Amino acid sequence: MSDLFGLFFNSVFVGNILLAYFLGMCSFVAVSKNLRTAVGLGLAVVFVLTITSPANWFIYHFLLAPGALSWAGLPDVDLNFLKYIAFIATIAAMVQVVEMIIDRYSPALYANLGVFLPLIAVNCAILGTSLFMVERNYTFVESVVFGFGSGTGWMLAIITMAAIRVRMRYANVPVGLRGFGITMIVSGLMAMSFMIFSGMGT
Amino acid sequence: MKNVKQALDRLEIYFHKGAKLERFHPLYEATRTIFFVPGEATVCMPALRDSLDLKRFMSLVILALIPQTLFGMVNVGTMALMAEGGAVSWGHALYRGVEVFLPMLVVSYGVGLAWEGLFAVVRGHKISEGFLVTGLLFPLTLPPTVPLWQVAAGISFGVVVGKEVFGGTGRNILNPALTARAFLFFSYPISMSGDSVWIATRAVDAVTGATPLSLTLGARGDMVPEAMIRHGYTFWNVFSGGIPGSVGETSALLCMVSAVFLCVVGVASFRIIVGGVIGALVMGFAAALVSTELSPWHWINPWHHLIMGGFAFGITFMATDPVSAPGTNGARWVYGFFIGVLTVIVRVYNTAYAEGVMLAILFMNLFSPMLEIIEIKLRTGKRVPNV
């Protein structure tokens, strides 16, 4: 149990998917302009990550890993090279399903998220989490916790960034740095502050 | 004073709009306000939150820092003389301390003011008094052996990236002095951490020792209290500051005096300081409860966290920075509390760093806009709508 808590803490703070591995930067920079959409997108990413990480675990361990097809009588087949395309297809399909469910049961939230919901499919943090999950040999339960933790870390980072950008409306940034420039500088300063946790855990 | 005023008045026409030296008006303005109170009030943060003029505000902080600076210099000299094994006298110690610290201060102020002046002239804003505090705080947080070019590099990063790209004093999100120190800490770790950087001795074979905090890094169990006594770190020594460390941070006693002074004159928020102390004690107590007998912190009282390392200095001068700390009262409690908690977490559980107060404050700086927004949401949510 404490191992799982440690894994959660690690994936939120120590190895923050955004501020330690710099995955998912594009939507982080683009969507953090507005606090409300940042919270919505953050929640959607948490949700999608918590589903796709275990789903990809199943696909990898029962279809793609070397020797995974032995249940079908094909122990020599190694489909590892299909990892990327299979994961991306799963993610895209999952996002579509989530989109349809939200559209059916909560049209208001669907309208709020707008185009950002389908865009989650191309968020590098989602694919990155699935690949890390394979690379680090997580078990099924660990993959659920890791997906949830990565999503929470991503949401924490984007909400913090959105709040900082609310405050920066009063800043007087040099013209050449306005917009993306200053956002990248703030991301760098955030990553520096998050190094407080580097070296803890594994 | 009269002569100064006349001379300044005579010079003023050259800096008017349309005059020859118009570009350099910020420099003239800065010189003038050193001698005379300006007629106009500040219009942007941090004065938006307080009716004090920014210059009075910052000079109160400088006043609170003077005892730290003097004590720091004497302490640096004393430690160096003791390590060389010679006789220690106050005058000699102060002389050695001035010799070490004055160049650091001059470089910090000189390079920082050059950047500040460049931005002020090019962008046409005023030179802000906030820099006087940053430029003094920064060298006080450095070990006495740091090379001067690193002081220059650090203050350049702190002033330019930490403050000026956001538009100057009152608009930055992180504390500039701590940004500068963190930059040095991660870029040049050899001159910023370890056991040998804390005493500015000239003798090659001098005895250098671990600081109280670095003793806990490698030690196990009840060795720590014994090891502290062996190194001469009694309670009084650690509390009063007669130990090796960064120049200005060793004396928790002086920090307490400054904290009370800053709270009474209304510059620092007592909520942040008290919140930080509570946070450190709660987390220190929890860590001592769950630690095994082999852990270095098991035999040490939780209140040791308050007097060791830079906690007292950081929570007094850095965490209470009116720009990067939250401006609402509830958020201040939370902000201070988590600085205390994170400091102890890093000291006890993060084996990569001995001290965590610098990064804890920077980390909470990031969250201060969010804490403010949450508190405002909660308060306006309670309000009865004005029908």
The partner residue sitting opposite A164, judged by closest CB among B44, B349, B366, is B366
pLDDT of residue B48: 46
How many other C-beta atoms are found inside a 10 Å radius of the C-beta of residue A180?
10
Q: Which two tokens stand for residue B79?
A: 């430690």
DSSP structure class, residue B197: S
- Name every residue whose Cβ is closer than 8 Å to that of residue B5 and which is 6 or more positions away in sequence: B35, B36
- Domain assignment present for residue B199? The answer is no
Give yes or no for B365 touching A (CB within 8 A). Answer: yes
- Mean local confidence (pLDDT), A57-64: 90
Residues of chain A positioned with their CB less than 8 A from the CB of B171: 168, 170-172
Please name the helix (run of DSSP H) or strand (run of DSSP E) that holds residue B75, with its range, or none: helix B54-84
One domain for residues B28 and B97: no
Instruction: Tell me the backbone φ, ψ of residue B156, rounded to 5 degrees.
Output: -65, -45
Answer whether residue B290 is part of any domain: yes
CA–CA separation, B86 vs A22, rounded Å? 53
Contacts of B107 (CB under 8 A, 6+ apart): B139, B148, B151, B152, B155
Q: Is A156 on the interface with B (CB under 8 A)?
A: no
- Asked whether residue B47 is assigned to any structural domain, the reply reads no
Asked if B162 and A160 come within 8 Å (Cβ–Cβ), the reply is: no
**Rounded distance between C-alpha atoms, residue A130 and residue A147, angstroms:** 8
Nearest by CB to A166, from B168, B174, B373: name it. B373
For residues B30 and B105, membership in a common domain is answered with no
Any domain includes B23 = yes
The pLDDT tens digits for B86-121 are 777 888 888 888 988 999 999 999 999 999 989 988
B125 and A CB contact within 8 Å: yes
Q: Which residue among A167, A172, A196 sits closest to B342, beta carbon to beta carbon?
A: A196
What CA–CA distance (Å, rounded) separates B248 from B111? 20
Judge if B96 and B178 occupy the same domain.
yes
Whether B365 and B223 map to the same domain: the answer is: yes
- A9 touching B, CB under 8 A? no
pLDDT confidence of residue B226? 72
The pLDDT value recorded for residue B6 is: 80
Task: Report the 10 Å Cβ neighbour count for B48.
Answer: 12
Q: Using a CB–CB cutoff of 8 Å, tell me whether B359 touches chain A.
A: yes
Q: Give B128's DSSP letter.
A: P
Same domain, B234 and B366: yes
Nearest by CB to residue B171, choosing from A166, A172, A177, is: A172
Tell me whether residue B171 is in a domain: yes
Residue A182 and residue B182: Cβ atoms within 8 Å? no
**Is B163 in the same domain as B239?**
no
Is some CB atom of chain A closer than 8 A to the CB atom of B352?
yes
Residue B87's alpha-carbon distances to B79, B82, B122, in angstroms, are: 11, 7, 52
B373, B316 in Cβ contact below 8 A?
Answer: no
Mean pLDDT of chain A: 87
The whole-angstrom separation of Cα B139 and Cα A202 is: 34
- Contact of A184 with chain B, judged by CB distance below 8 Å, is answered with no
**Domain assignment of residue B306, yes or no:** yes
Give domain status of residue B74, yes or no. Answer: yes
B58 with B30, same domain: the answer is: no
pLDDT in tens, A149-190: 999 999 999 999 999 999 888 888 888 888 889 999 999 999
> Min CA distance, A172 vs chain B (Å)?
4
CB atoms B182 and A192 under 8 Å: yes
Query: Which of B125, B363, B371, B372 should one mutate to test binding to chain A, selecting the residue with the greatest count of A CBs within 10 A?
Result: B363
Cis ω before B225 (30° cut-off from 0): no
Per the structure, the count of domains in chain B is 3
B276 min Cα distance to partner chain A (Å): 17
- Whether B85 and B163 map to the same domain: the answer is yes
Spans in chain B with pLDDT lower than 50: 46-51
Residue B382 CA: distances (Å) to CA of B138, B328, B329: 42, 16, 16
Whether B235 and B287 map to the same domain: the answer is yes
Within 155-194 of B, beta carbons closer than 8 Å to A belong to: 161-162, 165-168, 171, 173-174, 179, 182-183, 186
Residue B317 belongs to domain spanning: 217-243+251-373
Give the whole-angstrom CA distance, residue A167 versus residue B313.
27
- State pLDDT tens for residues A68-92: 787 877 878 888 888 899 999 999 9
Residue of A nearest to B182 (CA): A192
pLDDT at B1: 67
CB B202: neighbour CB atoms within 10 A? Answer: 9
Residue B40 within any structural domain of the chain = no
* Cα angle: B163, vertex B164, B170; to 5 degrees: 55
Q: Do residue B24 and residue B91 come from a single domain?
A: no
| Residue B45 at interface with chain A, using a CB cutoff of 8 Å | yes
- pLDDT tens column, A13-53: 988 999 999 998 888 888 888 888 888 888 888 988 999 99
| Nearest beta carbon to residue A160 from set B162, B168, B370 | B370
Query: What does the pLDDT read at residue B5?
Result: 77
Distance CA(B143)–CA(B72), nearest Å, equals 11
Chain B residues closer than 8 Å to A172 by CB = 123, 125, 166-168, 171
A196 with B356: Cβ contact below 8 A: yes
Residue B50: per-residue pLDDT? 46
**Under 8 Å between Cβ of B87 and B80:** no
Cα separation, A199 vs A89, whole angstroms = 35
When scoring A13, A160, A172 by the number of chain B Cβ atoms within 10 A, the one with the most, hence best to mutate, is A172
Q: What local confidence, expressed as pLDDT, does residue B47 receive?
A: 46
Look up tokens 């306006």; give the residue: B380
> Any chain A CB within 8 A of the CB of B262?
no
- pLDDT at B172 (0 to 100): 87
User: Amino acid identity, residue A94?
Assistant: M
ipTM of the complex: 0.89
Looking at the complex, does the CB of residue A2 fall below 8 Å from at least one CB of chain B?
A: no
pLDDT tens column, B170-213: 788 999 999 999 999 999 988 887 777 777 766 555 555 567 77
pTM > 0.90: no
- B93 shares a domain with B187: yes
Q: Which of A160, A170, A199 sits opposite B352 (nearest CB)?
A: A199
Same domain, yes or no, for B19 and B112? no
